[in-house]
Amino acid sequence: MDYLVIEGYKSAAEEFSRETGMESPVDFDSIESRMNIREALHRGDVSDAITRINDLNPEILDTNQALYFKLQQQKLIEYIREGNITEALQFAQEELAPRGEESPEFLSELERTMTLLAFQSSPLAPTAISELLSPAQRMKTAGEVNAAVLESLSQGKEAKLIGLLKVLSWGESMLSERAEFPKLNMSDGSFTYESK
């Protein structure tokens, strides 16, 4: 249930809850709200995402300046992606530059984002710069927003199942240094013996 809720599988979480009689730790509507925010960010509509975040809980962006900056940075990236250079420069000057003066971390990220203007669709752009235009950047921002919304709902940011798998993997690697034991093959669920 924890995994389904955190990852946003609303219908699967509802069905799981119905079949097991287990109560969801959050309201199912909040799952849908988080997924709508994620979808807005994935399609590059940062303004819609900010509106939806504020509709869900206006305190999230008021109390998390780093997250608000990340959203504004993403909005600047979207202006650059669309080729709206005039709007990008105006937005950076009015919205992001004052925040950059407040924090060296914000200033560094603003400078990195503004470097996109110099390397617009150039194959010579450094990876750290060109990755800002990749879909992974939108997904990263959406993940940070999802974590902040979950935190505001007093939920964990990462599914417990993922943490358990990390501990299992660590335990197996530690054990493999000391003894022969059956190791779980994650691809098919079978066990194989590992020797040291």
How does pLDDT run across 69-82, given as a tens digit for each residue? 999 999 999 999 99
Mean pLDDT of 143-154: 86
Q: What is the residue extent of each domain of the chain?
A: 2-158, 161-194
The reported pTM is: 0.73
Q: Reply yes or no on whether the pLDDT at 53 is more than 90.
A: yes
Residue 194, beta-bridge partner list: 181
CB 74 within 8 A of CB 46: yes
Top-confidence residue, 189 or 42 = 42
Residue 191, beta-bridge partner list: 184
Instruction: Band the pLDDT of 63: cuts 50, 70, 90.
Output: very high
